[in-house]
Amino acid sequence: MIAHIINTDIGGRGVLSLYLDYRKRNFRFLENAAEILLDNSERVLVVTGFPIPPMNVPETDGPPGALALSKLITELGGSAEILAHEAVINAMAPLQKSFSVKFTRNPDLPNYDLVIFVETPGRARDGNHYSMSGLRIEGETFDWIAEEARDYGVPTIGIGDGGNEVGMGKIRDLIIKHIPLGERIASTVETDELVVSAVSNWGAYGLIARASLELGENFLADWDEAFVVRLLVENGIIDGVSKRQEVSVDGVPIDVHVALVELLKRVVDSRVG
């Protein structure tokens, strides 16, 4: 149910067909990711930030999901640190105190128990990073962390929606099959587990919902999607589809995102009482 909800392809970008094929290959991807998270929640690095070309300004998909996951980890008694571009960190700064958010620019990977990537560009076969429209992304990228984490034996989870993110290398053949420009933009960077969703924030919320079912408590209950997205936009983050500074994510109005989060909350409530 949760996996279906987070793959509602409102944007019509081919994610639904990708998800259906992926689920045949990895039916329990969401459950597996939740198990990895709950087994390795003591110290977690959450990586986010997708610069939108040609301006290379980070988008509203990714940072909210990263904040929500950091909040979950803190509430579980662990420690979460967010690695992101300076523009993302600056936009998140007003939330630092209320969310107990910690930021890092120089992660010491052997000291983490888990790394989660939320909407983070993964390099394509030609070594470049691309937007879904096939434009080259310039500037700082963080996909090298997935490989370094693997070298240190630190488990990784990737969350993505378009095929060009860290983690999607795990299903590159399906990206090429289902996603427009897939051959050009498909990420080659793999993670131990991959959460596919129609919007990467939704993938993060779905992971929290699944973990909530395992724990018997709704850790999404007090999440305020509109508040978080609005604050990030007010501090410089843009919608990745419209490329404008507006309170929306991936070209989808904020009311839709709020409704989806509320649906996830109700699904969890119906199961945990």
- Strand 156-160 and strand 193-196: the pairing is parallel
Task: Report the chain's mean pLDDT, rounded to a whole number.
Answer: 97
pLDDT in the model for residue 172:
98
The domain total for the chain is: 1
Residues of the chain with pLDDT > 90: what percent?
Answer: 95
The pLDDT value recorded for residue 98 is 85
Torsion of CA 91, 96, 97, 99, to 10 degrees: 110
Determine the 3-state secondary structure of 238 from DSSP: strand
The pLDDT score that the predictor gives to residue 14 is 80
Read off the pLDDT of each residue in 118-124 and give the average, rounded to a whole number.
Answer: 98
Q: How does pLDDT run across 225-248, given as a tens digit for each residue?
A: 999 999 999 999 999 999 999 999
Short-list 160, 230, 222, 162, CA closest to 191:
160
pLDDT, tens digit (0-9, with 9 covering 90-100), for 143-194: 999 999 999 999 999 999 999 999 999 999 999 999 999 999 999 999 999 9
Contact assessment for residue 201 and residue 161, using Cβ atoms and an 8 Å cutoff: no
Give the DSSP letter string of 105-144.
SS--GGG-SEEEEES-B---TTS--B-TTSPBP-S---TH
Q: Quick check: 265 pLDDT over 90?
A: yes
Which CATH number covers residue 27?
3.90.1640.20
- Cβ pair 185, 132 in contact under 8 A: yes
C-alpha–C-alpha distance, residues 259 and 256, integer Å: 5
Are residues 159 and 63 in contact, defined by beta-carbon separation less than 8 angstroms?
no
Q: How far is CA 195 from each of CA 18, 163, 269, rounded to the nearest angstrom?
A: 12, 11, 22
CA distance 31 to 209: 10
Contact 71, 102 (CB under 8 A): no
User: In terms of residue numbers, what domain contains 64?
Assistant: 2-272
Q: 51-74: per-residue pLDDT in tens?
A: 999 999 999 999 999 999 999 999
In this prediction, residue 100 has a pLDDT band, given cuts at 50, 70 and 90, of confident
